[in-house]
Structure 1
């Protein structure tokens, strides 16, 4: 008050001097307050360009104040007035409570270790700006682990030969499929190999020959001859696994099919089928025969000329369980359908040399006459006696395919007529039950349609 009145009277202090003195006192009061521990937000001033007032030496200026920082969690928590939050935190305003809430994301939270939390408890939960900056720097480095340095990026991609050398030093070896198959054949032919080891080798080969190139390479290595020797083995397990490997190698692989026929594989397979063998062996051998004949008229011609249908008819009659019957009928249906499709394609397409050759080869497959002669017109209907719907379906499709050659025998077979009538009533009832439940276009509807089609053919003269 004295200074104000003195300023007003124009005595020893001028008005400007009075204002300056008041400003000094105010700054002193601010400094005194900032000297105490504060719960206000963290403020960091960093001068990185070396210019601007204050420091002419270009060094960084930092004002570090230890402030109370909110404890990070995965859940939203209320943020009290004056509390600081680490960089990277998610902050929102809760419209229901009117309070600010904070949460850390997963990437940031994983750096908030238990050890760090214990340290903060001991120090009163205060963090310096450098600590927060280092944590965020670590997060950014982990989020971008690949260096932008071209030399480091190039080191990630290394030639295969270099990797092989490095792994050889670690007693590791990278083998190609060709090397693996060569090693397996050597082990199989070794006199020290046991029957159990040879069985495991065949299973490994079966896995590899699903690839077309591997199957062809195995043949070129002499593997086909090894498999055929396994089929002639007295060990039933080796016979079974050898047939399994052969069937997988032949599937959709014309190159291997040709080599197999030239190597006498078909005769070996038929011989195994003709000899009394356990069911598991015959199933695998039938798989190999079907793979050899599929889409290969030359093999089908040899199959018929070597009495293949006679061997299959004996198997069909001896099989009481129906498993082999199903496979045999499916195989016959495929052979009939292939020949029919080739002849139909010739009516619509412009013929080329390859198609003409296939038609010529299929013309040599006298399948119709052989089926009629070997009594298959009366054998296939026996599959309808099965209780399995799938067995019946395969039988109906085969009977339709054989109808052009077997109609006379179908009409004279009273048991076949009775079976068709009984099956139609059964499946029609199933269809009606499904329609009540709101199901349409069911599997049983398809079976009814197959029966109707066969009955129409039998009534047509």
Structure 2
């Protein structure tokens, strides 16, 4: 009797297996999940273990765990879960699949629990919407097209919303000149202008709009912040822009800037004014000649002596070095016979700038060596380069200046030790080595 029961149970299992395989073969094209039957080798009351595909209706999704739990009618499970049919109880049971069990750590569980849940109705509605969007038949067969003229009109309206740089600068100048604008608003306007005038065309347009006169008036403001910002915008506008440089000199900008340097000003204002003067003089011999005739070197020498920190001294010496160097470069390039007539004119203009002689007469041969007393390596480097550039007119004073000769010997020993330190860490041609070369070159010139 027991043997017949076992055969009957085996026959029932075989019929169930054939029936499930028939279902899997007929519905395999609809879903990736197939019905699988596996023999239970673990014993217990488990008869068969199956994985079934989810119902397409509105089902309540059950979250499986590591333990078997009974599935109620109308419930569904996520893909990859293990589902079994307990033939003794006739109930479906579910737990996590092998891959899910492998990666289902406490961290993953907490992440899953924190995710927002969606009801089956919402998921079904979303899937239906996706299918409709992907199905061309569900879309309108007739698409409406707007006339070309209407599109052109809309594009023209969009163009009106895009401001050009010219329109922006006009708006900024109107805002600056408005009696209702506060100081903070004017400072904001100047900041935007400084950004715009770096472009050559914008700087020239600003002059034609009267912006240059506005900046010169701002230099005379009682608010030092406006003075500082106006000097900054002016320096940026004239930098490498010959047309604006000419316009600035003709408008009296150089005299205004020199007057500000000759009077006591807050340090931020003086630094920006020096920047504006250096930008105005760079590669512009006409302005350099006016600078010399209006006592520019005398103004700078007084400012140099009054500066104790070295910041202004370094800026002044760098500006003088640039002026000397560019004249030397133009003179050396003049040896090329293939240059055009414009270069000849530049040579003629630079020949009218007697900068070296003025430097010697105004005492700069003894002023620049004072910058070597600074502890900043950058300041010393700038001073050495300027001393070398001025050597043709200052050698006699260098040779008689015991303080300068002593400083050169002391600095050479100091930087030679630093060079040894650089070589230890693998820097054979470091920054300190360049300073030693400058000292050596200056000492060679003095000993000749």
Alignment deviations for residues 70-124 of structure 1 (CA, whole Å, 9 cap, x no partner) = x9xxxxxx97999xxxxxxxxxxxxxx9xxx9xxxxxxxxxxx9666x539x9xx
Alignment deviations for residues 128-156 of structure 1 (CA, whole Å, 9 cap, x no partner) = 9x998986896999xxxxxxx9969x999
1:209 partnered with 2:197: yes
CA RMSD of aligned residues (A): 4.0
TM-score between both structures, scaled by the size of structure 1: 0.69
Give the alignment of 1:339-378 within 5 angstroms.
339-348=327-336, 350-378=338-366
1:177 partnered with 2:165: yes
Look up the SS of the partner of 2:416 in the other structure: helix
1:336 partnered with 2:337: no
Which position in structure 2 is the counterpart of 1:33? 19
Look up the SS of the partner of 1:439 in the other structure: coil
Give the alignment of 1:143-292 within 5 angstroms.
160-164=155-159, 173-292=161-280
Which position in structure 2 is the counterpart of 1:455? 443
8 A Cα contact 1:39 1:68, kept in partner: no
Are residues 427 and 119 of structure 1, via their aligned partners in 2, closer, same or farther at CA, if it must alter by over 3 Å?
Answer: same
Are residues 370 and 160 of structure 1, via their aligned partners in 2, closer, same or farther at CA, if it must alter by over 3 Å?
Answer: farther
Are residues 156 and 140 of structure 1, via their aligned partners in 2, closer, same or farther at CA, if it must alter by over 3 Å?
Answer: farther
Alignment deviations for residues 289-316 of structure 1 (CA, whole Å, 9 cap, x no partner) = 0000011111111111111001000000
Which position in structure 1 is the counterpart of 2:28? 42
Which position in structure 2 is the counterpart of 1:403? 391
CA distance in 2, matches of 1:138, 1:379: 82
CA distance in 2, matches of 1:422, 1:374: 28
1:119 partnered with 2:120: yes
CA positional deviation for 1:282: 0.6
Query: Which residue of 368, 381, 391 corresponds with 2:369?
Result: 381
Which position in structure 2 is the counterpart of 1:67? 53
- What 5-or-longer segments of structure 1 have no aligned partner? 1-28, 46-65, 72-77, 83-96, 102-112, 142-148, 166-172
Are residues 417 and 41 of structure 1, via their aligned partners in 2, closer, same or farther at CA, if it must alter by over 3 Å?
Answer: farther
CA distance in 1, matches of 2:135, 2:327: 67
Which position in structure 2 is the counterpart of 1:320? 308
CA distance in 2, matches of 1:439, 1:401: 28
CA distance in 2, matches of 1:453, 1:139: 79
CA distance in 2, matches of 1:205, 1:140: 55
Look up the SS of the partner of 1:348 in the other structure: coil
CA positional deviation for 1:278: 1.2
Which position in structure 2 is the counterpart of 1:391? 379
- What 5-or-longer segments of structure 2 have no aligned partner? 1-14, 32-51, 56-61, 63-78, 84-97, 103-114, 137-142
Which position in structure 2 is the counterpart of 1:412? 400
TM-score between both structures, scaled by the size of structure 2: 0.71
